[in-house]
C-alpha cells in the first residue's frame, strides 16, 4: 500500500508543476476570464485550470498506477473525461450555451453508462427492502450525473472555492469508500485519492488571489468525476450509501437547489446566472473573498464529518442525523438571508408592494 500512497502524493507535485504551463497556454488560446458585472475578479485571470488537473490525474492513473484498475473501465472512463474536458475548454475559450454544455455532459454520461457499465441498479430502502430500479436505472443514473456535475459548476464563484470544497468532499468519499463501502476492492478509492491529490497540487495557484481559475474545464471535470466515482460505490446501494454522497456534497447541492427554486419563483430560466448564490450572500454580508471561502470550507467539513457518522450509526441514528442536517441547512439559509429574501418576494407578490417597501 505504501508505494501506492507515494505515487498518489507524486500527483500533488505533478499538478503543481503542470499548472503554470497550463496558465500560459490559456493566455495563448485566449481563455481568460474578463471582469464584468457577473464576475468577482477585478482583473483578467486565465482559466483552463482544470486541464492541469486532468493531465496530472490521467498521467498517474495510466502510467504509475495502471495495474490497479480494470483496463476496460479505465479506458471508457478516460473517453468520458476527454469529452467533458473538451466541452469545458471550448466553453472557456468561446462561451457555449447552457444547453450545449448539458448535451456534452449527457453524452459523457452515456459513455460511462454503456461502456464503463457504471450505473445505479438497485436500491435497498428501509421497511421496503431491495428495489430493482429496472427501466428507471438509466434516467436516475443520468439525472445523478447531470445534477452533481452542475452543482460543482455552479459553486465555482470565488477563488479556490470549488477546488477546496471538492477536496474535502472527495477525501471524505474516499475514506468512507475504502473503510466502509468497498467490499470487493479498493481501486475506486484509489481513483478518488488521485483526484484529491491533483486538486491539492492545483489549489495554491487557485486560492485567493488566484493566478488561474478552474474554468468550466475544471468545474465540469471535477463535478463529473465526483458524480461517476460516487456512482461506482452505488452499484447496488443501501439507502444510507445513497445519502452519504448527498450529505458530503451538501454545500453545492443546497446552493443548486435554492438557485433552481429562486429562478423558478422569479419565472426565469433555471440556466440564467445571478449573484444570489451562497458565496455572493456572504460577500454581501461584508465578508472578504478569503473569509467567505473559509466559511464555506468550514460548512463542507461539517457536512463531511456528519457523513462519516452514517456508517457508524443505527437506523434511528441515521434518521436523527438527517433531520439535524435539514434543520441546520434551514438555519444557515435564514441566517445569511436567502430564505428571508424568498419570503420577501412572496410578500411582494401578495401585497403588490416592492421589496424595498417590505423591508421598511
**Which runs of consecutive H residues, i.e. helices, occur in 30-160?**
49-59, 71-93, 98-114, 137-155
What are the tens digits of pLDDT across the range 175-189? 888 877 554 567 888
pLDDT of 304 above 80:
yes
pLDDT, average across residues 21-36:
90
Rounded to whole angstroms, the Cα distance separating 10 from 144 reads 31
Measure the CA dihedral 107/110/111/115, to 10°. -160
Tell me the backbone φ, ψ of residue 33, rounded to 5 degrees. -85, 110
Percent over 90 (pLDDT), the chain: 39
Q: What is the pLDDT of residue 346?
A: 47
What are the tens digits of pLDDT across the range 149-171? 988 888 888 889 999 999 998 99
Find, among 45, 292, 68, 328, the residue nearest to 178 by Cα.
68
238 vs 316: which has the higher pLDDT: 316
User: Is the CB of residue 197 less than 8 Å from the CB of residue 328?
Assistant: no
pLDDT, average across residues 120-140:
78
- Predicted TM-score of the model (pTM): 0.86
Highest averaged pLDDT of the listed ranges 37-41, 195-199, 302-306: 195-199
Average pLDDT, the chain: 83
Query: Residue 166, class by beta-carbon neighbours within 10 Å (0-12 exposed, 13-18 middle, 19+ buried)?
Result: buried
Residue 46 β-bridge partners: 32
Residues 6+ apart with CB under 8 A from 188: 177, 182, 229, 232, 233
- 110 pLDDT tier (thresholds 50, 70, 90): very high
pLDDT of 136 above 80:
yes
Amino acid at each position: 500500500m505504501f508505494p501506492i500512497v507515494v505515487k498518489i502524493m507524486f500527483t500533488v507535485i505533478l499538478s503543481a508543476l503542470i499548472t503554470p504551463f497550463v496558465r500560459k497556454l490559456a493566455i495563448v488560446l485566449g481563455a481568460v476570464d474578463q471582469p464584468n458585472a457577473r464576475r468577482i475578479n477585478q482583473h483578467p485571470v486565465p482559466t483552463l485550470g482544470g486541464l492541469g488537473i486532468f493531465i496530472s490525474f490521467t498521467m498517474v492513473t495510466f502510467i504509475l498506477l495502471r495495474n490497479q484498475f480494470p483496463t476496460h473501465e479505465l479506458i471508457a472512463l478516460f473517453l468520458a473525461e476527454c469529452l467533458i474536458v473538451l466541452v469545458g475548454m471550448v466553453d472557456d475559450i468561446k462561451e457555449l450555451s447552457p444547453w450545449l454544455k448539458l448535451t456534452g455532459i449527457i453524452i459523457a454520461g452515456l459513455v460511462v453508462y454503456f461502456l464503463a457499465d457504471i450505473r445505479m441498479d438497485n436500491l435497498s430502502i428501509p421497511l421496503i427492502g431491495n428495489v430493482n430500479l429496472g427501466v428507471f436505472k438509466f434516467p436516475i443514473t443520468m439525472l445523478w450525473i447531470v445534477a452533481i456535475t452542475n452543482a460543482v459548476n455552479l459553486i465555482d464563484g470565488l477563488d479556490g472555492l470549488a477546488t477546496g470544497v471538492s477536496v474535502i468532499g472527495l477525501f471524505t468519499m474516499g475514506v468512507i469508500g475504502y473503510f466502509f463501502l468497498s467490499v470487493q476492492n479498493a481501486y475506486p478509492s484509489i481513483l478518488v485519492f488521485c483526484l484529491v491529490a491533483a486538486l491539492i497540487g492545483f489549489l495554491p495557484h487557485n486560492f485567493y488571489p488566484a493566478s488561474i481559475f478552474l474554468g468550466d474545464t475544471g468545474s465540469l471535470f471535477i463535478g463529473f468525476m465526483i458524480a461517476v466515482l460516487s456512482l461506482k460505490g452505488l452499484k447496488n446501494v443501501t439507502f444510507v450509501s445513497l445519502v452519504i454522497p448527498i450529505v458530503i456534497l451538501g454545500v453545492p447541492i443546497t446552493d443548486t437547489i435554492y438557485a433552481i427554486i429562486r429562478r423558478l419563483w422569479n419565472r426565469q430560466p433555471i440556466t440564467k446566472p445571478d449573484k444570489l448564490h451562497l458565496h455572493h450572500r456572504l460577500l454581501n454580508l461584508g465578508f472578504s473573498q478569503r473569509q467567505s471561502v473559509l466559511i464555506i470550507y468550514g460548512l463542507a467539513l461539517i457536512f463531511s464529518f456528519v457523513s462519516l457518522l452514517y456508517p457508524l450509526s443505527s437506523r434511528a441514528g441515521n434518521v436523527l442525523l438527517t433531520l439535524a442536517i435539514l434543520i441546520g441547512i434551514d438555519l444557515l439559509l435564514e441566517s445569511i438571508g436567502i430564505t428571508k429574501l424568498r419570503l420577501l418576494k412572496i410578500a411582494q407578490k401578495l401585497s403588490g408592494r416592492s421589496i424595498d417597501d417590505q423591508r421598511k
